[in-house]
Structure 1
Amino acid sequence: MGILLVNALMMAGPYDLASVADPDASTLDRTVVGIVQALVAGKFYLMFSFLFGYSFTLQLDSAERAGARAVPRQLRRSFGLFLLGLLHAVLLYVGDILMTYAVLGLVLIAARNCSPRTALRAARIAYGCASTLLLLVGLASLLLSDAEAAELDAELAAELPALIASYRGDAASVVHANIGQLPDALLAVLPMGGFVLGAFLMGLHCGRRRLLTDTGIPRARLRRICLRGAALGLPGGLFMALAVSGPLGPRWTILGQMVGMVMASALTASYICAMLLLMRTARGARIAALLAPAGRMALTNYLSQSLVMALVFTGYGFALYDRLSPAVVVLGALVLYAAQLALSARLMARYRYGPAEWLLRAITLARLPHAPDRSATPR
């Protein structure tokens, strides 16, 4: 849901969550975008990355139980993810994350035999290096005067009418716009790479120690991480919202984005621990049961979200790009997520895999997954 909220605002127009402010945005628009920036943006792709690293350990165990070689399996899986990501970026949403996962997932394959302590140390190094670099870039941006920063924003804004026209055009113009933005999108992923890699390795560390099981982490420790993460992450998210969508001005935009990215992991850790605490309660168990079917077909839901939003916002369908307010977009995203929860429950009651999961599994195993994998852990 968190990824959907961010992607919906990114696909809805060129201003929301971007560094260029919408000159016609209302107070409600800025408030909605600010809330998403403070509480959501940058937090949930890290959670997804952490789970990607954690699940890697489960897949290694599955390959071992099946007597299969893990490395060829994982290389095929990375190829499948990259192919799906490339098609996703060209046809639907240029902000795809699957290609990044496919490439950085090769590091997980190389580190598959490392100890939990080594994985944790490597995660800290990756996070520290990425944080240092981004904070230096953000601080350097303060050397710009307000006039220079405003001039840069004006140059970026001058390119937006052509982009808006492309996404409101026919299918060919949408694909052309996506391809045209792909190099910049890939460059924008580079600052995230260190954090994604750090989250992968942290997931590898936790997966090796089985820390997400009921007996993995004591409740008291979960509470401490939850509170400390919120205490660190919320101010960082608030500063990003004030700098990008608030009153601080264009000179602070880059620093705000960098601080928000650096502090996002603290809030992500807080969210994860809060969810683990909740799911250990009776009410939380019911919530987990509601969410579980969508989690079993997360890849299908991720891709289908982009398909639905492309039909709504681009020339594939209604061409509402830059025509809906952020409040309407966020509300629509929540409705879409609720519909996916209901549909996922119906599908997972009848099938073992979602369509995209079935395809990726076929590529990973190099065979059709027509029958349940008897080596897999029952769920």
Structure 2
Amino acid sequence: MNKTNQHSRIEVVDAIRGIAVAMILMLHGIEHFNLYNQSDPISPLLQLTDRMVWDCLWFVVGGKAYAIFALLFGFSFYIMEQNALRRGQDFRLRFCWRMLLLFGFGCFNAAFFCGEVLVLYSIVGFVLPLVCRLKNKTLLIIAAVLMLQPVDWIKMAYAALTDSQSTILEFNFEPYWNNSMKMLSEGNFVQTVLTNLWDGQIFSLAWAWGAGRFCQTASLFILGLVAGRIQWFADTPHNRSMWAKTFAAALLAFMPLYGLSTLLPDFASTLPLDTTGIAGMFTSKSFMTPMMLIVNSLHKFCFMTMIVTGLLFAFYSTRLARPMRYIMPYGRMSLTNYITQSIIGSFLFYHWGLHLNLCDTWSLLLCITVLSLQITFCRWWMSSHSHGPLEGLWKKLTWIGSDR
């Protein structure tokens, strides 16, 4: 591939990453960074816009922005590994050290926001050096198995075979959630930090396990690695055809899966509680919960795929390329921006800070203001630096002790 195409490939990845981080900020903002202390507006107009903001953001962003971020994480591993191989270096052990550093960044971030994902990424990230020498076909099989949520298939099989209402392979994080939420709404800064670092992280990781994020994140990391290998983000006639087919396949899969996600609970609610046999399984929470997780996980993956392919077409084919290029510096500083979001968000909404109690509409407008300030800072910073502040620090610490 020529240097122009390679450069464009990196640009589009920076643009998509920036959009994903911006989407994460919007969703976390209306959640008040997990505090959920939104006010109920009196105005009928604000009630309408609140409902629109909440429903639209959850439909478009929920479970998708994080997935885009994870996909591009795997792609970034591919870029770093290839750069190391060109220098005659084996990047795998160095990447493991990089994940330990990311764990440190994640803990710092978690001190402010207990719902962050960097700690999860630092744990799941160890899968990449384990599989990076496998063939693409093998990687795709592994990614497919992980995307299908094997843990939840085990839960379903257990519920079906034992006719049990109890669940397995789950962790009760409710006490940790309650402790964390109490401190976010009542505690001072030091109390909030200490609680976030222990109770907050336990409930966050336990929730991620129960929500299938461990398997799905590993799958997306691997898919990002494969996307790098096959040059999927490059603008070529072959790729444009592949993007169109991928978009169509994702759309065709999304529609029935999304339909199932709404129809299955309604179907289950019509069945008598004493229903037996196959139909009886749909009245069992221990069976329905993992089934719904699988269906929801898959339809969100399909929607995420449509977003990514749509953004690729937008970047390479339409006038939307210009605003997407505008946000590229924001994507290049994704670690700095993600952690900064947590600091700003906790100050705005938690008890130790301003403890704002806003409706969804005003929360979104506030986050758009924060996003605008972040983008402005990023464009200024990147005009004279090659990396963001935390990105530069992470890179230096990654290669500490080497002759690079």
| TM bucket, shorter chain | 0.7 to 0.9
Give the letter aligned to residue 95 of structure 1.
G
Q: Distance in 1 between matches of 2:200 and 2:259?
A: 29
1:292 and 2:328 aligned: yes
**Residue deviations 1:90-124 (CA, integer Å, cap 9, x gap):** x1111121111111111100112111111111111
The structure 1 residue matched to 2:73, chosen from 52, 74, 78, is 52
1:181 and 2:200 aligned: yes
Q: Distance in 2 between matches of 1:352 and 1:173?
A: 37
Larger mean CA deviation between 264-273 and 100-109 belongs to 100-109
TM-score under structure 2 length normalisation:
0.74
Aligned ranges for residues 348-367 of structure 1 at < 5 Å?
A: 348-366=382-400
1:43 and 2:61 aligned: no
Contact between 2:74 and 2:223, CA under 8 Å: does it hold in 1? yes
Give the letter aligned to residue 325 of structure 1.
C
The structure 2 residue matched to 1:272, chosen from 279, 296, 308, is 308
Contact between 1:38 and 1:240, CA under 8 Å: does it hold in 2? no
The structure 1 residue matched to 2:367, chosen from 333, 339, 342, is 333
Partner SS state of residue 353, structure 1: coil
Aligned ranges for residues 295-334 of structure 1 at < 5 Å?
A: 295-320=331-356, 323-334=357-368
**Residue deviations 1:179-209 (CA, integer Å, cap 9, x gap):** 3232111111112111111111111111111
Alignment CA distance shift 1:67-1:45 (3 Å) = same
Q: Give the superposition deviation at 1:214.
A: 1.2
Find the counterpart in structure 2 of residue 127 from structure 1.
Answer: 147
Q: Give the superposition deviation at 1:31.
A: 3.6
Alignment CA distance shift 1:217-1:135 (3 Å) = farther
Contact between 2:33 and 2:115, CA under 8 Å: does it hold in 1? no
**Residue deviations 1:317-359 (CA, integer Å, cap 9, x gap):** 2122xx2112222222222222222211111001111111011
* Rg larger for: 2
Q: Distance in 2 between matches of 1:55 and 1:102?
A: 14
TM-score under structure 1 length normalisation:
0.78
Gaps of 5+ in 2: 1-21, 166-173, 270-284
Q: Distance in 1 between matches of 2:27 and 2:261?
A: 15
Find the counterpart in structure 2 of residue 87 from structure 1.
Answer: 108
What is the total number of aligned residue pairs between the two structures? Answer: 343
The structure 2 residue matched to 1:116, chosen from 118, 128, 136, is 136
Alignment CA distance shift 1:109-1:254 (3 Å) = closer
Aligned ranges for residues 1-379 of structure 1 at < 5 Å?
A: 1-12=22-33, 14-15=35-36, 26=47, 28-89=49-110, 91-130=111-150, 132-133=152-153, 136=156, 163-164=181-182, 166-178=184-196, 179-190=198-209, 191-215=212-236, 217-233=238-254, 259-281=295-317, 283-320=319-356, 323-366=357-400
Q: Give the superposition deviation at 1:302.
A: 0.6
The percent of aligned pairs where both chains have the same amino acid is 23
**Residue deviations 1:123-173 (CA, integer Å, cap 9, x gap):** 111112348539949x99xx999xxxxxxxxxx79x869835643431023
Give the letter aligned to residue 362 of structure 2.
V
Q: Distance in 2 between matches of 1:212 and 1:15?
A: 37
Q: Distance in 2 between matches of 1:241 and 1:346?
A: 46
Contact between 1:310 and 1:317, CA under 8 Å: does it hold in 2? yes
Q: Distance in 1 between matches of 2:185 and 2:208?
A: 22
Alignment CA distance shift 1:166-1:274 (3 Å) = closer
Give the letter aligned to residue 369 of structure 2.
V
Give the letter aligned to residue 183 of structure 1.
I
> Cα RMSD between the aligned structures?
3.6
Alignment CA distance shift 1:255-1:181 (3 Å) = farther
Give the letter aligned to residue 137 of structure 2.
R
**Residue deviations 1:296-323 (CA, integer Å, cap 9, x gap):** 1111011111111111011342122xx2
Q: Distance in 2 between matches of 1:234 and 1:177?
A: 41
Give the letter aligned to residue 334 of structure 1.
I
Q: Distance in 1 between matches of 2:89 and 2:183?
A: 51
Q: Give the superposition deviation at 1:33.
A: 1.9
Alignment CA distance shift 1:216-1:46 (3 Å) = farther
Q: Distance in 1 between matches of 2:151 and 2:54?
A: 24
Find the counterpart in structure 1 of residue 272 from structure 2.
Answer: none
Larger mean CA deviation between 31-40 and 185-194 belongs to 31-40
Find the counterpart in structure 1 of residue 276 from structure 2.
Answer: none
Larger mean CA deviation between 4-13 and 187-196 belongs to 4-13
Give the letter aligned to residue 307 of structure 2.
Y
Q: Distance in 2 between matches of 1:278 and 1:128?
A: 29
